[in-house]
Amino acid sequence: MRTLHRYLTRQMLATLGMTVFVFTLLLLLGNVLKEIIRLLVNRQLTLGVACHSVLLLIPWVLGFSLPIGMLTASLLVFGRFSADQELTAARASGISLISLITPVLLLSVAVSGLCAWLNFDIAPACRVAYLNLISQASIRDPGSVLHAGESVHLGDYTILAGGKDGTNLSDVEVAEFKTNGETWSKGASGDLRSDPAHQQIILTLHNAFTWDYKPGQGWLPGLNGGDWTYPIPVGFGAQTTMTVGYGDMTFRQLRDRLNDVERPTGPIAKTPKAVQQLMGDARTPVLVYLHRMVAFSFACIGFTLVGIPLGIRAHRRETSIGVAMSLLLMLVYYSFVVLAQAWVNHPERAPFLIVWLPNFIFQAVGAVLLWRANKGV
């Protein structure tokens, strides 16, 4: 039994290393082709800075390539194990499938722990460092600091743009927090331009309406239509840090952000309910990204439970079949994540729970398939 366990563990580790390397390379190439090569061609990056950027992306990419690598390795190893009649020989020796795959299941738990460590802290920190590095080189691209449909915090400003096309914005809302009050404004459209001399971007709202909060006076109407300009400092300088969206926050940062939203303090606590509703439900997007981070970190267990019996049923040695099946399963998994993120503005649908559905489905289906495979069905 120990010989079989060592054999399967070696096969899984070797195949996992190969598949993770391939998928990491592919995902890195996607980011390199999209951002880094463009900056190199425009001479906004040196070769050394470009290499540094790629190294910073590796931990973030590993958070995605490790689960799909574990799934592909399970399909390939047990597909070969079944095709070579090794599984039949093990069963003939009185060894059950469940006892045979115990080290593989333990390996999936260990890889899930590694994914959690990467996703909770290391990957977001490296991603933020990468974004800061790119932002310093992308000084002429101010639109990169905002994300459509997502609140972004820059200094004393909180900005929410419903839509973004380059530097052109639509449905823009801005909250500016001051020591003596708060200003809230909304514009049907807006645009961004860079001001590298002062390490800031200039946000201009068109057809804007503003309200000012003054202690003891409440909310007072301000501008009624027209243009309104905000000079916003961002991370273009070496001594500043660009504020990122929820998808690039660490687990602790997301928890702190959730606490801020649930128990607001300072001027934001005095914001009228009507204005809070206009700004949207800020709690749901944080919950979606928080639950997504945890759920995806432990996806390796469900992928392994599904991959082992599917590999046995496929009964093939071909690598292409295993890769195709893993990509199809990953597409199914990510469809739930995409659906949850598309519903962040619909808290009544509980999108933060949807990200857990593929984990539960994969684990349940995998357990049933393993039971049937163990019985020889």
Closest Cα partner for 240 from 358, 85, 132?
Answer: 132
| Residue of 147 and 167 predicted with greater confidence | 167
Residue 114 shares a structural domain with residue 181: no
Cα separations (Å) of 179 from 76, 200, 214, 222? 61, 21, 10, 18
Whether 13 is covered by a domain: the verdict is yes
Whole-structure pTM value: 0.68
How many helices (H) and strands (E) the chain has is answered by: 14, 7
Could you tell me the pLDDT band of residue 128, with boundaries at 50, 70 and 90? confident
Residue 121 shares a structural domain with residue 76: yes
What total of structural domains would you count in the chain? 2
pLDDT in tens, 29-60: 876 767 777 677 656 567 887 888 888 889 99
Measured N-to-C along each axis, helices 47-83 and 299-314 cross at an angle, to the nearest 10 degrees, of 50
Give the pLDDT score at 266: 44
Residue 335 shares a structural domain with residue 360: yes
Whether 63 is covered by a domain: the verdict is yes
Whether 149 is covered by a domain: the verdict is yes
Supply φ then ψ for residue 44, to 5 degrees.
-95, -10
Residue 116 shares a structural domain with residue 133: yes
Question: What three-state secondary structure class fits 88?
Answer: helix
C-alpha span between 28 and 235 (Å, rounded): 24
pLDDT at residue 115 greater than cutoff 90: yes
Residue 150 shares a structural domain with residue 87: no
Give the pLDDT score at 155: 67
pLDDT at residue 173 greater than cutoff 80: yes
What percentage of the chain carries pLDDT values higher than 70? 80
Whether 350 is covered by a domain: the verdict is yes
What percentage of the chain carries pLDDT values higher than 90? 19
pLDDT in tens, 225-281: 778 888 877 653 433 344 557 778 888 888 888 887 766 554 444 444 444 444 446
**Is residue 375 within 8 Å of residue 98, measured between CB atoms?**
no
Give the pLDDT score at 4: 83
- For the chain, give the mean pLDDT: 80
C-alpha span between 92 and 6 (Å, rounded): 19
Closest Cα partner for 243 from 146, 320, 322?
Answer: 146
Give CA angle at 174 (171, 176), nearest 5°.
175
Whether 283 is covered by a domain: the verdict is no
From 192, 213, 235, give the residue that closes a domain: 235
Could you tell me the pLDDT band of residue 145, with boundaries at 50, 70 and 90? low
What is the full DSSP assignment across 282-323? SHHHHHHHHHHHHHHHTHHHHHHHHHHHHHHHHT---HHHHH
375 exposed, middle or buried (CB, 10 Å; 0-12, 13-18, 19+)?
exposed
Residue 172 shares a structural domain with residue 201: yes
Give the pLDDT score at 118: 93
Ramachandran quadrant class, 266 (left: phi over 0; alpha: psi -120 to 50; beta: rest): left
What count of other Cβ atoms lies within 10 Å of the Cβ of residue 33?
10
Residue 213 shares a structural domain with residue 87: no
What is the Cα gyration radius of the chain?
25
Whether 365 is covered by a domain: the verdict is yes
Find tokens 């823009």 and name the residue: 172
Question: 106-111: which pairs have CB atoms within 8 A and are 24 or more residues apart?
Answer: 107/9, 107/12, 107/13, 107/16, 107/304, 108/70, 108/300, 108/301, 108/303, 108/304, 108/305, 109/300, 109/301, 111/16, 111/66, 111/67, 111/70, 111/300
Residue 133 shares a structural domain with residue 149: no
Give the pLDDT score at 15: 92
User: By residue range, what is the domain housing residue 205?
Assistant: 145-235
- What is the mean predicted confidence (pLDDT) over 345-365? 88
Give the pLDDT score at 14: 93
Give the pLDDT score at 325: 80
Give the pLDDT score at 240: 38
Q: Across the chain, where does the E strand assignment appear?
A: 152-154, 157-165, 168-178, 181-195, 200-214, 218-224, 228-233
Residue 11 shares a structural domain with residue 126: yes
Cα separations (Å) of 218 from 175, 223, 270, 272, 315? 15, 16, 9, 9, 71
Whether 117 is covered by a domain: the verdict is yes
Structure tokens at 284: 């749901």
Which range scores top for mean pLDDT: 71-85, 110-124, 140-154, 301-315?
A: 110-124
Which range scores top for mean pLDDT: 2-11, 147-156, 206-215?
A: 2-11
From 193, 213, 235, give the residue that closes a domain: 235
From 200, 235, 270, give the residue that closes a domain: 235
Give the pLDDT score at 13: 93
Side chain identity, residue 161: A
Structure tokens at 16: 């996992």
pLDDT in tens, 176-233: 877 667 888 888 888 888 777 766 778 888 888 888 877 777 777 777 777 888 887 7
Closest Cα partner for 111 from 74, 64, 67?
Answer: 67
Residue 130 shares a structural domain with residue 172: no
Centroid of chain to Cα 311: 28
Residue 105 shares a structural domain with residue 197: no
Q: Across 86-241, where does the E strand assignment appear?
A: 152-154, 157-165, 168-178, 181-195, 200-214, 218-224, 228-233
Supply φ then ψ for residue 206, to 5 degrees.
-105, 145
Whether 202 is covered by a domain: the verdict is yes
Residue 201 shares a structural domain with residue 301: no
Could you tell me the pLDDT band of residue 319, with boundaries at 50, 70 and 90? low
